[in-house]
Amino acid sequence: MMGEPDETGRFGEYGGRFVPETLVPALIELDRGFREAWADPAFRSELDSLLADYAGRPSPLTECHRLSAELGVRVLFKREDLNHTGSHKINNVLGQALLARRMGKTRLVAETGAGQHGVATATAAALLGMECLVYMGEVDIARQELNVFRMRLLGAEVTPARSGSRTLKDAVNEAMRDWVATVEHSHYCLGSVMGPHPYPWMVREFHRVIGSEAAVQCRTLLGGPPDVVVACVGGGSNAAGIFSGFAEDPSVELVGVEPAGGAAVGRGVPGIVHGMRSYLMQDEFGQVLEAHSISAGLDYPGVGPEHSHLASSGRATYHQVVDAEVVDAFVLASRTEGIIPALEPAHALAWVVRERESLSGRTVLINMSGRGDKDVAQMMDVLADRI
């Protein structure tokens, strides 16, 4: 479980490389470049140093005493929200930016939903002195203006995606179109465990550090693994990262939580978009449906192919929560733990809250994948009557 994909870039029957011909040689080169770098102690050591001295790893494991008492479930947070730039996204971006530089690329192109991946990419570009262009759906630009400003402050260009649903899916389309035209000097710094091979595998490997750290931290705190590991799933990168630390142990339940309005595993069927075969929300003719979620970071109709495989094989289960449950969880974590979560990991907590009776007495590790600063402006409106 959660090893390398096969030679066609598939996890089971999911994955592959469904992209315009122009990009195939670049993907082959990227696959080779990543394999070489990942096996090179010098590359690993440079990345580890950046993760420690720049991004602040290892991220802590926090035992949530008041929240646990409230729910009757022992809850631990893996604190990816404490990373530099405020989410787990920095793990992947530092890896890809170093790799891009090693491969002679001078420009990073990225898509972003909530803006967390865009901010992380802009940060890495500033750190390494690279050019950076981030595509972001027009709808997301309006609801995440703080992150837009952050990216521009960091020296990145932010270009609105104005087609289709004007959210994350369309930002991915624009980034791929950009890459088709600029592939010789640009690296597409994809922000999740999705897209064509080798991205789903490579991005998961860059996030494996989350699961590896958490496994060690749980052993120290609990003497063994938790009973359940829960993470939110849009494309699925933070979930893939934390799952990878526990997938080998069949006693650990792996749970992915999707927004009801963007539940590719829960409401989709297998399809092909953005370079991969995976579960996809689509109509009877294969047109991709628009996702709708309170969280821009999960507003995506597809999901990374490895999650489709984990779901099909039964190794992980996937559940849905609705926006109202997410808002309650957002408040709950703030009030009981003094941790304002991003709306994305609030999905994971919302599922635990709903399932607290069946989880009673068990130990649950939640990946707190990002902090809620970026969502505060939006939540001021949503919570106007309550706070």
Task: Cite the active site residues.
Answer: 64, 88
Residue 112 or 173: the one with the smaller Cβ distance to other proteins is: 173
User: What's the gap between Cα 379 and its chain centre?
Assistant: 21
- Asked if 21 interacts with other proteins (CB under 8 A), we say yes
**Element at 350 (helix H, strand E):** helix 343-354
DSSP string, 222-266: HSS--SEEEEE-SS-HHHHHHHTTTTT-TTSEEEEEEEGGG-HHH
Asked if 46 contacts 341 with a C-beta cutoff of 8 angstroms, the reply is: no
Site for other proteins in 140-179 (CB under 8 A): 163-164, 169-170, 173, 176-177
- Asked if 280 interacts with other proteins (CB under 8 A), we say yes
| Residues β-bridged to residue 137 | 161
Rounded CA-CA distance 205/1 in Å is 13
- Asked if 358 interacts with other proteins (CB under 8 A), we say no
- Asked if 23 interacts with other proteins (CB under 8 A), we say yes
| Residues β-bridged to residue 76 | 63, 365
* Segment contacting other proteins by CB under 8 A, of 125-133, 269-277, 305-313, 373-381: 269-277
- Asked if 297 interacts with other proteins (CB under 8 A), we say no
* Segment contacting other proteins by CB under 8 A, of 24-32, 222-230, 256-264, 363-371: 24-32
Asked if 127 contacts 150 with a C-beta cutoff of 8 angstroms, the reply is: no
Eight-state DSSP code of residue 320: E
Site string for other proteins, 43-72 (x = CB under 8 A): ------------------------------
Size of the site for other proteins (CB under 8 A): 38
- Asked if 103 interacts with other proteins (CB under 8 A), we say no
- Asked if 182 interacts with other proteins (CB under 8 A), we say yes
* Segment contacting other proteins by CB under 8 A, of 54-62, 107-115, 199-207, 276-284: 276-284
- Give the residue, chosen from 5, 11, 14, 17, that forms a contact with other proteins under the rule CB under 8 A: 17
- Asked if 18 interacts with other proteins (CB under 8 A), we say yes
Encoded tokens for 168: 């994350």
Rounded CA-CA distance 103/97 in Å is 10
Rounded CA-CA distance 188/274 in Å is 13
- Asked if 22 interacts with other proteins (CB under 8 A), we say yes
- Asked if 274 interacts with other proteins (CB under 8 A), we say yes
Cα angle value 271/272/273 (rounded, 5°) = 125
- Asked if 104 interacts with other proteins (CB under 8 A), we say no
**Residues, the chain:** 387
CB of 234 to other proteins, least distance (A): 17
**In this structure, how many other beta carbons lie within 10 angstroms of the beta carbon of residue 255?**
22
- CB burial of 164-182 (b: ≥16 within 10 Å; e: otherwise) equals ebbbbbbbbbbbbebbeee
- Asked if 180 interacts with other proteins (CB under 8 A), we say yes
CB of 195 to other proteins, least distance (A): 11
CB of 282 to other proteins, least distance (A): 7
Residue 178 or 355: the one with the smaller Cβ distance to other proteins is: 178
| CA-wise closest residue to 114 among 358, 346, 364 | 346
- The site for other proteins (CB under 8 A) is made up of 8, 16-26, 163-164, 169-170, 173, 176-177, 180-184, 270-275, 277, 280, 282, 284-288
